[in-house]
Amino acid sequence: AQSVTQLGSHVSVSEGALVLLRCNYSSSVPPYLFWYVQYPNQGLQLLLKYTSAATLVKGINGFEAEFKKSETSFHLTKPSAHMSDAAEYFCAVSDQAGGATNKLIFGTGTLLAVQP
């Protein structure tokens, strides 16, 4: 069965610093992987997705993630943090087994704080 693990429930960076949010996955089949962002009192917005094309995926708001099969990782990065990046970030894997397609399995989330 597929699963994702997000290391670090809270990450704090200074404005302008590198953002690195970690995600490791477990999947018995080639995975489809996603990063979503959730701002306070809002739903989830897709940042980027990996669907077996290029291993380096670029998303919105300057974020990118690299799929590394050997490390079973899909870490999210941004070269320079902005105050508006403060939010909760969720890594997810698409569960391609069972009856439902487009079913996502989410990690527990990483809350990103950006200090001025």
The footprint of another protein (CB under 8 A) covers 32, 34, 36, 41-46, 49, 51, 90, 92, 94-96, 98-109
d(CA 96, CA 98): 7
Q: How far is the CB of 90 from another protein (least distance, A)?
A: 5
Q: How far is the CB of 103 from another protein (least distance, A)?
A: 5
| Cβ-based nearer residue to another protein, 22 or 103 | 103
DSSP letter for 84, please: G
DSSP letter for 56, please: E
Amino acid at 26: S
Q: 72: alpha, beta or left, given left = phi > 0 and alpha = psi -120 to 50?
A: left
| Cβ-based nearer residue to another protein, 43 or 116 | 43
Q: How far is the CB of 31 from another protein (least distance, A)?
A: 10
Give me the sign of the Cα torsion angle 51, 6, 28, 66: positive
Q: How far is the CB of 49 from another protein (least distance, A)?
A: 6
d(CA 50, CA 56): 8
| Cβ-based nearer residue to another protein, 80 or 108 | 108
| Cβ-based nearer residue to another protein, 17 or 44 | 44
